[in-house]
Structure 1
């Protein structure tokens, strides 16, 4: 009986240790910049994306936003999901003129520290899927 209890306790400790080791440790500089930029937001979901940015996902005014930060806390960008039907006509026209597009798969409005404001689109062409960026006036970045 004692052996069974010890084994169960051992497995529980191992399971808790594994769960704790998966928790993300977001740098304090990143958290401080996030709190300063979005003071009303609490408990964002944090991930480290494929580009090495710390990304906070959170809700604001019924929208899901993703804000990206460098390791040192520098804000890089904030992305807003956009309904494809709400894209500016100039963007849709530019995509159709510049690509043999079957369809626009996804769209995000991006506020970037260096590039400014633009639409980040994923488009399905005859041959492949592309990521392209356009300004509101249809100019490609």
Structure 2
């Protein structure tokens, strides 16, 4: 019992340790966020495994996540969308290449390095597989 409680305490401490509040978020990150998303004043800030900053916020009722380097450079912003919102070219490519795979999640991603793309997650034999498509249905590598 003591071991179970100790493990639970340790996991909880680690989880809280990875969360950050807006006071510890670098000013450059907060400034870039405000420039990119004016009027969005209450994001939840966290750091990821790479040391980048993530802002979770809602825009017109939809959930978004924007990622920034510690120096304030914007990396990407993503939000979940429905399968039905995918461009038709992507739907056609999925039907052609992955007809037997179940889609588990779809995200629209706006990236500083790749532009706009769609990240489609498939479930295949108990494992998840991500495939990135541009709006024309081409697979990105």
The aligned counterpart of 2:35 is 36
Over 3 Å counting, the alpha-carbon distance change for 1:29 and 1:131 in structure 2 is same
Regions of 4+ moved over 4 Å = none
Q: Displacement of 1:92 after TM fit?
A: 2.0
Distance 1:90 1:104 in 2: 16
RMSD over aligned Cα atoms: 2.0
Over 3 Å counting, the alpha-carbon distance change for 1:129 and 1:101 in structure 2 is farther
Q: Which moved more, 1:125-134 or 1:105-114?
A: 125-134
**Do 1:109 and 1:119's aligned partners in 2 also have CA atoms closer than 8 Å?**
yes
Match runs of 1:1-141 below 5 Å = 22=17, 24=20, 25-99=24-98, 101-126=100-125, 128-141=127-140
| Unpaired segments ≥5 residues, structure 2 | 1-12
Distance 1:67 1:55 in 2: 6
Larger radius of gyration: 1
Cα offsets for 1:82-114 (capped at 9, x unmatched): 011221221122123333642111011111011
Cα offsets for 1:53-97 (capped at 9, x unmatched): 211011111211111100110001111210112212211221233
Q: Displacement of 1:127 after TM fit?
A: 5.9
The aligned counterpart of 2:10 is none
Cα offsets for 1:13-66 (capped at 9, x unmatched): xxxxx9xx8562211111111112112001101111234321101111121111
| Unpaired segments ≥5 residues, structure 1 | 1-17
Number of residues of Structure 1 aligned to a counterpart in Structure 2: 122
Distance 1:66 1:52 in 2: 15
Provide the TM-score with structure 1 as the length reference.
Answer: 0.77
Over 3 Å counting, the alpha-carbon distance change for 1:65 and 1:35 in structure 2 is same
